[in-house]
């Protein structure tokens, strides 16, 4: 039966090539957009390099003080993490790192733009960077304020070219020479708490971190628990600590700061009634609905036009005993074949689009790919698309009166 459905479907698609091309374009273009978006989300959410210990990590990226007429929020100070977060009992390590700073360095009259950030020694214990050369700077080097640096592969390539080894050589950042002690695999810029070209000990910072004893600054932190089961307790302990903080000004009445799991922290908006995850999922859902709605309606209209053209065929089949269920099944199979063909074209277009995006380096160090997860979602989208655009036309087809159909 399905073999006959398939033959009829191919014949119908060949009959009106223009409508078929319009339908395939709508399906494939829609799927390409959704697959590229899915590949991006999958990369950001599921790629756990370099923080492979996410299952026992909590991320702290902001603090907000509010009052009746005043509000002040943003990243935190080194003092906050060193004085308060490091005093918590549950975390076994606390990674502290500054925001990314940009600077230009010159090599053989060539300007090289690099980003650098400051970290503590525990940063390398909480994260799990892949070192292609050397090793991270040690706690002793941080304590001594040694001018050492861990650099990314991109920084190595831009500054040292094809030199076989760079450990012990010097690189310039913010007009200061630093000795390279390690080279790590690139981190996507989307991981803003971890991304940089050059990583430096916080003790070499030109800004005196000791003097800033307020809550606000330019640092973020990651709390590492001994076991994943310790996360709820570590989260409660952090919230209780924040609840005991004294106000930095009489103008403020509340202090808000959260230690979140990766995804929650990544999308947090600062709204205390929601982590931001609901907003992110809602925005993605509306976008997907909008992208799928227009092509689906277009395909429904095309399918209805095809049905009216095939009314005499439907009338003959009904006259010879074809049931409504048989006609509905046939049309749904035809529509699914069309959407699967469009899906195949969409996969090819997605591969081309991802190759273009990766080659253009629109997002530094972010390499998108079509993996099993993305392809599975694409297949699901094809099936949903086929059903949504085929159910109503199939129902209309099954309701056609035999006499009216034969007269058409």
339 has pLDDT over 70: yes
* φ and ψ at residue 370, rounded to 5 degrees: -95, 105
Please list the alpha-helical segments (H only) found in 219-323: 231-243, 262-267, 277-309, 311-319
Q: What is the mean pLDDT of the chain?
A: 83
Over residues 76-100, the mean pLDDT reads 95
* φ and ψ at residue 178, rounded to 5 degrees: -125, 140
Closest by alpha carbon to 234, among 243, 222, 225? 225
CA distance 388 to 332: 10
Over residues 29-34, the mean pLDDT reads 84
- What is the pLDDT, as a whole number, of residue 275? 66
Closest by alpha carbon to 234, among 97, 59, 50, 95? 59
- Specify whether the CB–CB gap between 77 and 93 falls below 8 A: no
| pLDDT more than 90, % of the chain | 41
User: 17 burial class (0-12, 13-18, 19+ CB within 10 angstroms)?
Assistant: exposed
Number of H helices, E strands in the chain: 13, 13
Q: What is the CA radius of gyration of the chain?
A: 29
Q: Print burial letters for 327-341: b (CB count within 10 Å at least 16), e (below 16).
A: bbbbbbbbbbbbbbb
Token reading at 405: 């159909």
Q: Where are the beta strands (DSSP E) in 70-144?
A: 71-74, 93-98, 101-107, 110-119, 131-134
Closest by alpha carbon to 382, among 6, 24, 109? 24
The least confident of 106-110, 117-121, 126-130 is 106-110
- Specify whether the CB–CB gap between 158 and 191 falls below 8 A: no
Per residue in 213-257, pLDDT (tens digit) is 889 899 999 999 999 999 999 999 999 999 999 988 888 889 999
Whole-angstrom distance between the N-terminal and C-terminal Cα of the chain? 27
Token reading at 52: 């492979």
Residue ranges covered by each domain of the chain: 2-47+278-407, 63-257
* φ and ψ at residue 183, rounded to 5 degrees: -125, 130
The least confident of 29-33, 47-51, 187-191, 318-322 is 318-322
400 has pLDDT over 80: no
72 has pLDDT over 60: yes
Q: Crossing angle, helix 277-309 and helix 324-360, to 10 degrees?
A: 130
- Specify whether the CB–CB gap between 142 and 120 falls below 8 A: yes
Distances 51 to 56, 66, 197, 217, 225 between C-alpha atoms, Å:
10, 32, 17, 23, 13
Token reading at 151: 């650099």
Q: What is the DSSP letter of 387?
A: H
Closest by alpha carbon to 349, among 10, 28, 18, 12? 28
Token reading at 125: 């214990």
Look at residue 363 and give its three-state secondary structure.
coil
> Residue 135: which pLDDT band, with cuts at 50, 70 and 90?
very high
Between 7 and 168, whose confidence is greater? 168
Closest by alpha carbon to 97, among 74, 78, 80? 78
> Residue 310: which pLDDT band, with cuts at 50, 70 and 90?
low
The continuous run of DSSP H or E covering 72 comes out as strand 71-74
Between 246 and 11, whose confidence is greater? 246
Token reading at 85: 């977060």
CA distance 241 to 235: 10
Over residues 354-360, the mean pLDDT reads 89
* φ and ψ at residue 179, rounded to 5 degrees: -85, 130
């Amino acid at each position: 039966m399905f073999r006959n459905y398939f033959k009829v479907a191919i014949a119908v698609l060949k009959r009106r090539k223009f409508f078929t091309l319009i339908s395939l374009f709508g399906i494939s273009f829609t799927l390409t957009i959704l697959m590229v978006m899915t590949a991006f989300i999958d990369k950001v959410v599921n790629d756990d390099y370099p923080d492979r210990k996410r299952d026992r990590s909590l991320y702290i990226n902001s603090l907000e003080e509010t009052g009746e007429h005043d509000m002040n929020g943003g990243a935190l100070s080194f003092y906050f993490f060193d004085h308060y977060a490091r005093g918590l009992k549950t975390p076994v390590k606390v990674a502290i790192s500054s925001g990314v700073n940009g600077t230009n360095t010159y090599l053989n009259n060539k300007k090289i733009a690099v980003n650098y950030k400051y970290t503590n020694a525990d940063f390398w214990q909480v994260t799990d960077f892949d070192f292609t050369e050397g090793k991270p700077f040690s706690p002793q080097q941080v304590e001594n304020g040694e001018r050492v640096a861990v650099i990314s592969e991109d920084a190595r390539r831009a500054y040292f070219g094809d030199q076989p080894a760079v450990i012990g050589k010097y690189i310039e950042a913010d007009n200061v020479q630093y000795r390279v002690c390690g080279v790590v695999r690139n981190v996507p810029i989307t991981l803003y708490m971890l991304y940089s070209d050059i990583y430096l000990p916080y003790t070499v910072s030109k800004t005196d971190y000791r003097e800033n004893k307020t809550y606000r600054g330019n640092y973020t932190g990651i709390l590492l628990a001994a076991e994943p089961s310790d996360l709820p307790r570590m989260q409660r302990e952090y919230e209780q600590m924040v609840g005991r903080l004294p106000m930095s000004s009489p103008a403020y009445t509340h202090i808000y700061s959260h230690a979140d799991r990766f995804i929650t922290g990544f999308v947090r908006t600062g709204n205390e009634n929601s982590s931001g995850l609901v907003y992110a999922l809602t925005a993605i859902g509306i976008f997907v609905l909008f992208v799928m709605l227009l092509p689906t309606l277009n395909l429904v209209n095309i399918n209805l036009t095809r049905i009216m053209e095939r009314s005499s065929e439907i009338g003959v089949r009904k006259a010879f005993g074809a049931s409504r269920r048989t006609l509905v099944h046939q049309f749904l199979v035809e529509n699914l074949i069309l959407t699967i063909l469009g899906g195949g074209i969409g996969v090819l277009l997605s591969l081309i689009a991802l190759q273009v995006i990766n080659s253009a380096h629109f997002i530094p160090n972010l390499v998108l790919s079509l993996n099993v997860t993305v392809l599975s979602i694409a297949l699901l989208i094809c099936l949903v698309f086929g059903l949504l655009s085929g159910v109503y036309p199939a129902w209309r087809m099954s309701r056609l009166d035999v006499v009216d159909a034969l007269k058409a």
